[in-house]
Structure 1
Amino acid sequence: MEKKLVIRLIGAFSATDGEGNPFVLAGRKDRAVLAFLAAHPARPIARERLVELIWPEAADGAGRASLRQSLSTIRKAIPQSDPLLVDRDTVAFSLDCATTDVKMLEDGSRSERIIGNMPLANGEAFLDDLGGISAEFDTWRATEHSRIVSLVSDLVDGVARNAEGSGDINKAVAALSQLVSLDPLNEASQRRYMRALIASGQANSAIRRYRMLEKLLQDELGVTPEQATRAVLTEAKERAGQGAVKGSDHPVAATQLAPSEDAVPELVVYRFRDLSDDADTRQFAEGLSDSIAGALSLVSGLIVVSRPDTSRPNGADADATEARERFALHGNVRKTGHQIRVGARLIGQPSGRVFWAEDYDR
């Protein structure tokens, strides 16, 4: 069976052939046409609708001519099978030889693999590199983004409930960490996450999570946490054996990274991703990850490795890495107007367990 083309709509638009090789559409409007069609698979879309969406300011006839040129460019760029079904009045995206990441989520084919590789986990938006095509296109992107957030939340919630039911507390912590990152103001999810942290022996992390939620609710809604949430805080304090937060200000204490008898822990700090496509923000992200790696290298008994990407080492380095307990720090930076958001996530390797995840706004 021939492997399908895969169109990725979550985050920046991308497309790969059946072997995983990328193919490139340089024009933003070409990508926008293919993205809109792929987001409505097997549905004929009127040419007039595409023209209104992508070329709203075009003069009579010019918009249709631009669409014809765009469709020609797309078909030439796509290797092997052509997923476009074109007639005089409509264009459709066929699922016979292609699919999308959104379609796979809708079909549930990624539900068991979603933890540790969750869409939207790094602050991505739906087609976040195609903003500004037109006001109507941006409205559609925002609506679709909200729908996908809800879809991913339901999938992650299902994984979390299955883990809670089976007593797999580490998997529950990982899933709930990602669930609250999608909807930080959902107190019910935050309480579940705090309880999971307490059950996994991370009472101090549960207390810190409460403090973060308390500030977020006050800043965003002008309210305080519900009584049920305050009760979980009391439980966390009792479990921690303290009346207030003490010790390290860092979300992951050094004892959580303590080596086993035969291993030295290794922390790989990956270059933080710039989600703004801005040169200054990119330099800030690179400098931030380098600074974090430098600061962590001062921690006694911890091997810190800085890498520019997610590639794995080869040869002798790979053998040495496998002999250690490994942790990976991933992060991203997004600039919106005068505000910068930094997101970070500490993940155990190869288990995929999320030890900690936070967003910081400035």
Structure 2
Amino acid sequence: MRKSFLITLLAVLWLVLAASSSSAQSPGIVDNGWMPHAQGPLNGDIYTVIWGDTVFSISRRFNVDQYTLMSYNGIPSPYRLLAGQPIRIPTSGPGPQPCPSPFLTITNPPPNTNVGTSFPVSGSGCGLFEGNVFIRALDSRGVQVGQVVTTLSGPTVGIGGQGTYNDTMTVAGAQGPTLTLLAISNNVEYSRVTVNLGGGGIGQCQSSALSIFEPGEGANVPASFTVRGDAAFNCTVTITARDGGGRQLGTANAGTFQGTQWSTTLALQGGIAPWSDIFIEARTNGGGVAQRRVRFDGGQPPSLTITEPAPNTPLLTTFRVRGAGAGLGNTTLIVQAISNNGGLIQEQSVQTDFQGAFDLQMTVNQNTP
């Protein structure tokens, strides 16, 4: 225990003496003077690390890029420093002074301008740790809907000098008329800009993505029904209904909401025969097209009829069963053969066509009573 105490005491005394010793730099080395996290002594071209030092601050003090500094000393990533560790400083010659006060700005887009759901964002900064830049986008609800992560570009960024950035922001899920862009580096917000999302929140339809999920394919529909689907954000959807001859039966408009969903009510007009096929077409201002085939029920209940074999027809063990349905659309039917005593002899499934017709061949056991 006593030996450990003496070693610790000597180490502390050595660090105190080292920190208080005078600095003398070699020719060709730029020393900008003490700054936070780089206040150790310089003797010749040797800098002595003290507690709290960071690689970034040391590189700023001596106008040397931090990666060059670590490589010069053979220190691998993640660049760990220890108090008392000697660091050789390469000669750098005169260079720009680090920024007296860090800053980060957004110059494009300018305040109050209109942007779409994808737009360029650029600006400048200085004195930022490793030149890190985070541009965050908040919509009118205060929800983060986009982020750009990049770094400053410039010859002296590595030593805290000034640089610029240029990237693309995408805010596909934004809602409301405005966006607020925050310029952040190392969890510090330096500036913010508010812009308009499209023309007062309408935005721009950026994709042809479009689908219809209600009503389902082949479904029966009344004279007025709901049509729902998905489209790209901020798209306008136009729905048109036509009969098999191309005659327009109705139209309606819808806009996307809650991100990408859309919904509207479509009313059919004109004389439409019951169980007629109706063709629904949806289009967006982004070039999207989706179609759905349904059947007009005419307010009548669905029905099903077997047309072959006729009632009381003598049958062989293999025979044909045909029929048609009204208001069924394209669906699966179960056809059963029942004995005189009510027992199940055979059961088969069959798919109807879009007209509701079905046709199958059924075989039964000839020994069945």
Please state which band the TM-score falls in when normalised by the shorter chain: under 0.3
- TM-score using structure 1 length: 0.21
Structure possessing the higher relative contact order (Cα contacts under 8 Å, 6 or more residues apart): 1
More strand by share: 2
More helix by share: 1
- TM-score using structure 2 length: 0.21
